[in-house]
Amino acid sequence: MLQPLFGELENLAEWHRDALTTALGLREGPRSDQLLLSNATLAVLAAAAGRAPLLLIIDDLPWIDRASAAVLGFVARRLSQIPVGLLAASRTGEDSLLDQARLPTRIIPPLTDTAAHALLASRYPAMSPRVRQRLLTDAQGNPLALLELPAALQERPVAADAGAPLPAVLPLSGRLHATFAARLQPLPPQTRHLLLAAVLDGTGDLATLDAVAGSPAADALAPAERAGLIRVDHGRSRVTFRHPLIRSAIVDLAAADARRAVHRTLAALHGSEAARRAWHLAEAATGPDEDVAALLQSVAHVNLWRGDSVGAIGELLRAAELSPAGADRARRLAEAAYLGETVTGDMHDVGRLLDDARQADPEHAGGLAGAVTHAYYVLNSRGEVDAAHQMLVRAIDALEDPADGHDKVLVETLHTLLQICHFGGRAELWEPFHLALGRLRPRPPERIALAASTVSDPVHRALPVLGRLDAVIAEQDRETSPARIVRTGVGALYVDRLPRYRDPLRRAVQHGREGGAVTSAIEALLLLSADGWFAGTWDDVLATSAEASALCAEHGYPLLAGMALSYQALVAAARGEHEKILALTSQLASWGGPRRALLLTQRAGHARALDAAGRGDFEAAYDNAATVMPPGTLDYNPQGLWVLFDLVEAAMRTGRPDMARAHVQALLDTDVASLSPRLAMLVAGATAARRRDERRVRTRRSNASFRMRRTGRSTWPGCT
């Protein structure tokens, strides 16, 4: 510490200089008295501080040797008279030789969640939300861990991959390993064995550890508790680790065969619990094992139903690793890729997983699971609506049994086909979808059946299912799956049920913010944007659509980004921001038009119609509204319900009463007003506008007839 001040030694008194140079090994001589050496150190600091203030920084205070600690303790108590500061650090709870100096101390707490997130984001800005949230959880505000854990993950490419499952216990860097492992190595072997079992079991159940030990485990765990590594709560029969990274150090110290042996023991103990048994068997496996792979796949499906999409992907990928057959491995890889792109936002890794599936099974490449994964990727990453549609229709038609309503992959395929048809916005796309859905036996799942009616052709199909949709919405407070929340929300979109559905959608958004279902969070944000648009909370619309847009850019969803852009365009139109409207709608039209994503071009037409009407240009308003919904044409056009009044108003104001009359009559004939109070209001307004104009025309004709009788001639050109 004093090395930068060696130049000051020549300015000291001889006895101080001799004492210091001898103690520092710069010259030979007899050992100096401690008091003399301490005063000499204080003298050299005072001399240097005469020119500029000094700060002495000591890290890892407990590691200082006894002699240095004695001198520094003497100096520290006498610094108040000279411009020298001392900053020393030690881990909380560790003793040091400076404790007797009674220096002012401050306990530094862990970083707050906000600060920890900022630190991690500043060093690793490209990290996926799922990985970031896991690191924040395990680091618990420890800045060293926040900086070192990502580096350790990057040294293991599979674990660092955004699409791969994170390990149950995060790997440690060399520095972290040294920090935490040093406290574990002195423990007895039996204690370390039980600590390993506690980590791999993951529940903290003391009864399980008793079973592993074959006797009460508390006695064997006592050395770890005295070392401050764990807490044993006998009342709750639980063992907890004082810091998550202690768990990582325990696993790091254990040999691979020891870990597998513990997993086998735990699998036997949890034989009645399929999920835990499957995972322990998978971790104990040393090679392909179809029985374990199949068990793990079934567990993944259960976890997906419960809303644990991240866990389901990890289980599917591990099942793929354990699959001995090429077709089974390819199918499981494709399923994992599909969940990644549709739920957790791992779009960037879909191509790699599909390539792996093709290598495992070149002929079928994952079968229907591979086809739906590829179609979703083609739709959402490139916006190729027709190509994705053809791919899925052919894959469904090629199935041996396309009517099995219990086939999870087939049902997921139909959900994706519904999304494709929705973005395509054309009747011919919906026909094969309804054909495939109608032949499912014993019946189609409720959510897809409802969305098929309310999204494809709400004017003609929605009214009979509204009671069922309302019943499903009423039960959503108990729903845990973000994907199912969003699918119900899509069914509610065009029939104005979103105001009753805000809380579930917000839960789905929060789930994604915490590193869970990111894709579902994007879709939930878009649904909240739609709800905010109709509620008139336009600042909220801009906030939710901006968040959705940022997630789309980060994870690679340009089609959904276009949807976010459409809500920003609608708000700009409502606020009269003409130049902004031109820019936003041009982006929507130029991207959606060539890809035949009619929904995006319809949204652009809607925004332009609002903008034109606001400027009094009703000719342009009519032209744009008619591109969304041609007058009198209501079939397979949910987006047309958003412009029904705008179209009638523009038609009346531009001298097209026949067009307005035809459209209003179509609305009345199909009972659109019964779908929701908002639509009833708009239909009533459109009907009133038409009748008002007809009365105006009748009044003009009556006045003309009166003038003709008074003058004896017609006021109408061409009349005799």
Q: Which amino acid is at 40?
A: A
Q: What is the pLDDT of residue 77?
A: 85
Q: How far apart are CA 19 and CA 43, in angstroms?
A: 12
Report which secondary-structure segment, H or E, holds 252.
helix 244-253
Q: Name residue, tokens 């997630």.
A: 551
Strands 238-241 and 84-88: unpaired
Token pair belonging to 36: 């003399």
Q: How far apart are CA 5 and CA 48, in angstroms?
A: 7
- For 194-335, where are the E strands, in sequence order? 230-233, 238-241
Torsions phi, psi of 77, nearest 5? -75, -5
3-state secondary structure 381-440: HHCCHHHHHHHHHHHHHCCCCCCECCCHHHHHHHHHHHHHHHHHCCHHHHHHHHHHHHCC
- Evaluate whether 667 touches 683 at the Cβ level (below 8 Å): yes
Q: How far apart are CA 90 and CA 76, in angstroms?
A: 16
Q: Name residue, tokens 């820019």.
A: 583
DSSP label at 498?
Answer: G
Torsions phi, psi of 60, nearest 5? 55, 60
Token pair belonging to 437: 């859905």
The four Cα atoms 385, 388, 389, 395 give a dihedral, to 10 degrees, of 180
Q: What is the pLDDT of residue 312?
A: 85
Strands 238-241 and 230-233: antiparallel
CA-to-CA dists, residue 457 to 176, 177, 239, angstroms: 59, 60, 57
Q: How far apart are CA 525 and CA 549, in angstroms?
A: 9
DSSP label at 54?
Answer: E
Q: What is the pLDDT of residue 10?
A: 84
Q: In this structure, how many other beta carbons lie within 10 angstroms of the beta carbon of residue 252?
A: 18
Of 452, 448, 498, 451, nearest in space to 476 by CA: 498
Q: What is the pLDDT of residue 156?
A: 58
Number of H helices, E strands in the chain: 36, 4
Q: How far apart are CA 648 and CA 562, in angstroms?
A: 27
Token pair belonging to 99: 């404790």
Q: How far apart are CA 682 and CA 371, in angstroms?
A: 42
- Evaluate whether 37 touches 74 at the Cβ level (below 8 Å): no
- Evaluate whether 141 touches 116 at the Cβ level (below 8 Å): yes
- Evaluate whether 328 touches 298 at the Cβ level (below 8 Å): no
Q: What is the pLDDT of residue 164?
A: 57
Q: What is the pLDDT of residue 698?
A: 52
Q: What is the pLDDT of residue 221?
A: 94
Q: What is the pLDDT of residue 155?
A: 66
Q: What is the pLDDT of residue 374?
A: 92
Q: How far apart are CA 430 and CA 394, in angstroms?
A: 14
Q: What is the pLDDT of residue 450?
A: 96
Q: What is the pLDDT of residue 105?
A: 82
Give the pLDDT confidence of 437-456 residue by residue, as tens digits: 999 999 999 999 999 999 99
Q: How far apart are CA 653 and CA 319, in angstroms?
A: 64
CB neighbour class for 159 (10 Å; exposed up to 12, middle 13-18, buried from 19): middle
Q: How far apart are CA 47 and CA 40, in angstroms?
A: 11
Q: How far apart are CA 19 and CA 552, in angstroms?
A: 68
Low-confidence ranges of the chain (pLDDT < 50): 157-163, 701-702, 704-720
Give the pLDDT confidence of 542-552 residue by residue, as tens digits: 999 999 999 99
